[in-house]
Amino acid sequence: MDNIIVWNVRGIGNQRTARTAKRIIKKHDPTILVLLEPMLGNGKRVQIGLSLGFHSSYSNWDAGGKIWLFHRSSVSVSLIFKSDQCLSIVASDHNSAGPIYFTFVYARTAWKKVDSNHPIYNVLSRLKQVNKDLKSWNKEEFGNIFEQILSMERLVAELEAKMQDFSGPVDQMLSMQQDLNYNSARHASIRQVELDSGQIVENQDDIKAAAVAHFQQIFSGEPARVDQNLLQCIPHKVTQAHNEMLMAIPSISEVQFAVQSILADDAVGPDGFSAAFFQSSWEVVGHDIHRAVSIFFQ
């Protein structure tokens, strides 16, 4: 499965969006295409799929959702779960080593459940609601993962117990490897060093003393003294216009650019959401994030 496209299309019925979809498909040639919010009756799904070059499709329309999934005939796809919030499939093709499980989530409903008058509190409340709904969905979809982990740990313990019969040969091999590493380290030791004076020392105690003296000289120098009058020589480059520009409320495109610039898989924030969540769902959350950022600058 070379390419998979998920697009919050927000209406596939108009000609402009349909033309855009065809251009994207022609450029990227996806094996699976997922459209969120098609804003058409489910009876149009097959017709839209054929117009885009897909002969097979699924949807969660009968579950009250807004997800359409199309796939090429070269991919084997089976539906395993659907709800108003998600569509889960298992897919495979000749390039994959085995079946791959996908879950496509449409979270707009959860995001719109909470409203408040303050933009920052509004975003925090909606994130909390989405987090709650995702936890419920995760439990329904995958069950109690903690019990599954305990079950796997018990299985590992049983396998480790069975491996005790092989502990003797394994310990012997580890001991041989340790001896080999030790001998390699001895051969890799420093035999001689050249001092600043040009003298060559080969005695190990002299080499240790030279190393200590070298780094002491580097890290124990006298603190530098700075003449504060020199700072007056630095020209003022930031003008009043620059200050006004820096203090101006950023546009929604500037906020989006900043969000998209964050490493998607970087450490999550205190709310539990990484940058990937905001990047992939910007069409849903973007306006609320921009309003919260604007309040901060005000």
pLDDT at 116: 72
Residue 34: helix, strand or coil by DSSP? strand
Class of domain 4-106: alpha beta
pLDDT at 108: 55
DSSP state of 9: -
Query: Can you state the angle between helices 45-52 and 15-28, rounded to 10 degrees?
Result: 50
pLDDT at 269: 77
pLDDT at 17: 92
Euclidean distance between CA atoms 48 and 101, whole angstroms? 25
Euclidean distance between CA atoms 73 and 53, whole angstroms? 10
Contacts of 126 (CB under 8 A, 6+ apart): 110, 111, 112, 113, 114, 285, 288
Number of other residues whose CB lies within 10 A of the CB of residue 60: 23
Which residues lie across from 70 on neighbouring strands? 33, 57
pLDDT at 117: 79
The tens digit of pLDDT for each residue in 6-45 reads: 999 989 988 899 999 999 999 999 999 999 989 898 889 9
Contacts of 116 (CB under 8 A, 6+ apart): 122, 125
pLDDT one digit per residue (tens) for the chain, 298 residues:
678 999 999 899 888 999 999 999 999 999 999 999 898 988 899 999 999 999 999 999 887 778 999 999 999 999 999 888 889 999 998 888 889 999 998 865 567 766 677 888 888 888 888 888 888 877 777 778 788 888 888 898 888 887 776 666 666 777 777 766 666 655 557 778 888 888 888 888 888 888 888 888 877 767 777 788 887 888 888 888 888 888 889 999 999 999 999 988 888 777 788 889 899 889 888 999 999 999 888 8
pLDDT at 79: 94
Domain spans of the chain?
Answer: 4-106, 113-143+236-298
Euclidean distance between CA atoms 37 and 8, whole angstroms? 6
The DSSP line for 187-212 is HTS---EE-TTS-EE-SHHHHHHHHH
The tens digit of pLDDT for each residue in 249-289 reads: 999 999 999 999 998 888 877 778 888 989 988 988 899 99
CA 204 to chain centre: 50
- Where does residue 67 rank: exposed (0-12), middle (13-18), buried (19+ CB within 10 A)? buried
Euclidean distance between CA atoms 227 and 221, whole angstroms? 19
Question: Do residues 210 and 193 touch, judged by C-beta distance below 8 A?
Answer: yes
